[in-house]
Amino acid sequence: MLKYTKLAIVVFGAISLVACDDNNESSALTSEADSALEYQVTVSNLTNAQPFSPLTVLLHDTGDVWNIGDSASDALESLAESGDNSTLMSSSFVLGAETNGAVLPYGQSATVTISTETESNYLSLVTMLVNTNDAFSGLNKVDISQLAVNQSLQYSPGAYDAGTEGNSEAAGTIPGPADGGEGFNASRDDLNIVTMHSGIISSDDGLVGSVLNFEHKFDNPVMAVTITRIK
């Protein structure tokens, strides 16, 4: 009977999503292991020379990972300055969190698979561009509630500035391989609002004291993302 239901979902695609939404009424259904929903998030790093910190994928019904014009949360500050996603992954609004647990080199792709027993409305994605002071990229609050099995959503996100650390590009302030400097620092010496990133300058372009060079420049989009519901 259960198998028959799943088959119907595949065949009728978006139409049967309505029925899917009601699954939480039946404890018998949701307790079955194969009633889990599963999503694959594939990310390609499109920058020239900005490795990405371990990818962080979150499921949630409330909350935002960031909002343009608002101050970054401490959890986002930590991720955007150091690449450390542990605080964000354990944030109270998060219903499920996964990471690939490894740096994603430029020019490469990686996939994070996340599953959940109960449907979540939103999926978010965050990663740091590690050869910067506090640049990050990702997706905030993608509505996945209408996504049927085998359907995909595609995005090309740009780079954001957490606004929690001045973009000095100076030695000792950048955690990535271009510097090997400090990651997280609790002081906030920038605008203290999240904005789109205006790019790096680099020593090649005349910023005295910058440890970055022409290789580390980037333009948007910095990543290609495909979200596919596989169960």
Partner 1 sequence: MSHKHFIAAGFLGLFSAASQAQDLTVTLTNLTQGIHFTPVIAASHDMNAAIFHVAETASAELTALAEGGSIADMSILLSNAGADVIENPASGLLAAAQMTSFNLTNSSGNDYLSVAAMMLPTNDGFVGLDSWKIPSEAGTYTVYLNAYDAGTEANNELVLTGSGAPGTLGIPAAPGGDAGSNGTGVSDAQSNTNIHIHRGVLGDTDASAGASDLDSRVHRWLNPVAKLTVVVQ
CB of 149 to partner 1, least distance (A): 10
CB of 71 to partner 1, least distance (A): 27
Residue among 101 and 158 whose Cβ is closer to partner 1: 158
CB of 52 to partner 1, least distance (A): 12
Where do contacts with partner 1 occur on this chain (CB under 8 A)?
Answer: 13-14, 44-49, 106-109, 142-143, 146-148, 150-154, 156, 204-205, 214-215, 217-222, 224
Residue among 217 and 231 whose Cβ is closer to partner 1: 217
Residue among 90 and 214 whose Cβ is closer to partner 1: 214
Residue among 59 and 72 whose Cβ is closer to partner 1: 59
The CB-side HSE value for 90 (13 A sphere, CA atoms) comes to 4
How far, in Å, CA of 177 to CA of 10, rounded?
Answer: 45
